[in-house]
Structure 1
Amino acid sequence: MKETNTLIVGASIAGLASASTLQKRNIEYLIIEKESQVATPWRKHYDRLHLHTSKGLSNLPYKKFDRSVARYPSRQQVVDYLVDYQRAFNINPLLNTEATSIKKQGDRWIIETNNGVYKSKYVIIATGPFGKPKPISFKGMETFPGKILHSYEYKTGKDFKGKEVLVVGFGNSACEIAFDLFEQGAKPSMSVRSPVNVVPRDLFGIPILKLSLLLSHFPPRLADAINAPFMRLRLKCRMARSNKFKKMGPYRF
């Protein structure tokens, strides 16, 4: 049984950031990863994916994105950044090593894996929320003659050129996938369950998240009141004037 101070489960964004932080503090650690390489979740995302947070707000500790990278990095640029990050800090995960059981034994944790058993004082679970898709189920799916897939399985709109496609949802992934479908020659429509808040990625050239962080210091109702006229100016679209636009702003959502 191998022993360490801290065992990190997962070698993508959270796991690599945890490893570099522990290194800086001279704290012993091991990091395990069930896949054969780091940043696997990002390698599996759809091709067109870009961060919706600017690179300045998306850096991991002690290392920034390269200046040549666009304000909103692409999926591949995120993968490249994480690989460079791993090399820069000489982080060496135990690859193809999956945790199958984590149990407390006295003041230590016992972590069983397919490649042996480990004991540690602390465990960091850095597997992220996107490793497994949530099952989808709608009435009539079993008789629908077309193709149904989860966004987790989507890669590119090229496969749907000339076809009508319904995208269910209005989150970041849904909107970007719908746009990708349109760019690739498909005919996308979107199904939205309830009124929404449409928030632009930038407002007059400033990343919306930076403005959101400033407005977060105000009470939600006041923040929405300050925000509303700028949103109306920016979102000169039919949705902004329709009853599908949520009456409460994003701070009271």
Structure 2
Amino acid sequence: MPAPLDVVVIGGGQAGLAAGYHLRRLGLDFAVLDAQPTPGGAWQHTWDSLHLFSPAAYSSLPGRLMPPQPGETYPDAAHVVAYLTDYEQRYELPVHRPVRVAGVHRDGELLHVETDSGSWRARAVISATGTWSRPFVPAVPGRTKFRGVQLHTVEYRSPVDLAGQTVIVVGGGNSGAQIAADLVPAAALTWVTPREPRYLADDIDGRALFDHATARRRALDEGRTDSGGVASLGDIVAVPPVREARDAGLLKAQPMFDRVTATGVAWADGTTAEADAIIWCTGFRPGLSHLAPLGLRGPRGHIPTTGTRALGEPRLHLLGYGDWTGPASATLIGVGRPAREAARQIADLLR
């Protein structure tokens, strides 16, 4: 078994790379374990038309600005993958892949990281596995009886795959709105949302969202009134394709149905809708199964933290899962600050 490291980072996407950048700057001995066979994290697996909410300069990891994409104000996913690949190489981050972590265990003064390709020991662990690996689909009555195709956001790629079909898109967040707008020209669309869609003002993009999330965190830290964060502004960023479809009257949401039938969906008032396919844009849960041996799970599947540090295990930090692990920490621009704080706290602990 190799000698213990200072830190093992689990996950080689944007959060893991940001952590690696700061760990390197502090001179710590670390390894990044990534389950993916190639660089780019979850950005490798998005639908074809996905673009960032922000210009490249406002979508950067610490230390290196994302270069602009020629001809695009908001870079696409392929541009992000290229940027993350370059970032990893530029800073010579020690990423090992594909390595899938099975479990993290306490081992005296060390943490033991069990993987499908051997064991690692470390004095601290940063978990940065994100949520993409744990798509959530609600337990709607009749869902298993549907005879058509059911996809989650993670499985949708292109309107070409559903051209000419009748499609129901479920979800009132960004993914639901963007995929619905993507399908409008190609399919007979029904868009279903749990509540009336709430669009953010058209001039708001990722820059404003990050500033708002950061201001909320500062207010909470100072004991001031909770502003409600990004959720208080709305649920849907009006990126150009969504805005165009909305303004053309092509994105008209229906209320959530009560059950799924063999051939579609049905509402309580007897209304029905037929469908060849249902796309569930219903969110994700944090991918934390590898931390189960530590016995730290709290409400809603989260591990209680102070900042990024797990309350029940000071050698463990969680990074990039959402606001509960740092304001806007699930975004490219937002993950840098909590990554820096996690690295600093680990360095202090190891001293």
Partners of 1:106 and 1:147 in 2: CA distance: 49
- Compute the displacement of 1:19 (Å): 0.8
Give the aligned partner of residue 342 of structure 2. Answer: none
Shift of 1:162: 1.7
SS in structure 2 at match of 1:81: helix
Task: Note if contact 2:56-2:68 (Cα within 8 Å) is conserved in structure 1.
Answer: no
The match for 1:249 is none
State the SS of the aligned residue for 1:148.
strand
Matches within 5 A, 1:88-107: 88-107=90-109
Residue of structure 2 in register with 1:21 after alignment: 22
Secondary structure at 1:5's aligned position in 2? Answer: strand
Q: Distance in 2 between matches of 1:112 and 1:225?
A: 41
SS of equivalent residue, structure 2 residue 183: helix
> Within 1, Cα distance between the matches of 2:81 and 2:184?
25
Q: Which has the higher contact order (CA 8 A, sep 6+)?
A: 2
User: Is 1:73 matched up with 2:75?
Assistant: yes
Q: 1:237 to 1:171 in 2, by over 3 A?
A: same
CA displacement at 1:46 relative to structure 2: 1.1
Match of 2:22, SS state, is: helix
- The separation in 1 between residues aligned to 2:233 and 2:183, in whole angstroms, is 35
Deviations 1:87-134 (A, max 9, x none): 111123111222112111222111111222111111010111111212
Match of 2:152 among 144, 150, 153: 150
3-state SS of 2:112 partner: strand
Aligned length: 231
Contact kept in structure 2, 1:33 and 1:98, CA below 8 Å: yes
Mapped to 1, the partners of 2:208 and 2:128 lie a distance apart of 26
- Measured after TM superposition, the shift of residue 67 of structure 1 is 2.9
Percent identity, aligned pairs only, is: 25
Give the counterpart of 1:116 among 107, 113, 118.
118
Residue in structure 2 matched with residue 189 of structure 1 by the alignment: 190
Distance 1:108 1:196, change over 3 A: same
CA spacing shift, 1:139–1:55, aligned 2, 3 Å: same
Q: SS of the residue aligned with 2:152?
A: coil
Contact 1:136 1:150 in 2 (8 A): no
Matching residue's letter, 1:39: G
Q: Using the TM superposition, give the Cα deviation of residue 41 of structure 1 relative to its aligned residue in structure 2, in angstroms.
A: 1.6
The structural deviation recorded for 1:135 is: 3.8
How far did residue 144 of structure 1 move? 2.6
Gap change, CA 1:151 and 1:224, over 3 Å in 2: closer
Pair 41,182 (structure 1): closer, same or farther in 2 beyond 3 Å: same
Q: Supply the distance in 1 between the matched residues of 2:77 and 2:190 (Cα, whole angstroms).
A: 24
Question: Structure 2 vs 1, CA of residues 158 and 208 (structure 1 numbering), >3 Å: closer, same or farther?
Answer: same
3-state SS of 1:152 partner: helix
SS in 2 for 1:78: helix
Supply the AA of the counterpart residue of 1:190: W
Q: Quick one: distance in 2 between partners of 1:62 and 1:209?
A: 18
Match among 208, 211, 222 for residue 210 of structure 1:
208
Correspondent of 1:127 among 103, 124, 129: 129
CA contact (8 A) 1:6 1:124 kept: yes
Aligned in 2, Cα 1:214/1:95: closer, same or farther, shift over 3 Å?
Answer: closer
Aligned position for 1:59: 60
The 5 Å alignment of 1:219-230 reads 220=227
Q: Match for 2:183: what amino acid? A: L
The whole-number CA distance in structure 1 between the counterparts of 2:101 and 2:233 is 48
SS at the partner of 1:42? Answer: helix
Given the superposition, is the C-alpha separation of residues 212 and 114 from structure 1 closer, same or farther in structure 2, using an over 3 Å criterion? closer
Structure 2 portions without partners, runs of 5+: 220-224, 256-351
RMSD (Å) for aligned C-alpha atoms = 3.3
Match of 1:247 in 2: none
The amino acid of 1:29's aligned partner reads: F
Per-residue deviation, residues 153-199 of structure 1 (Å, max 9, x unmatched): 1111111112221111111111111111124x112221111234211
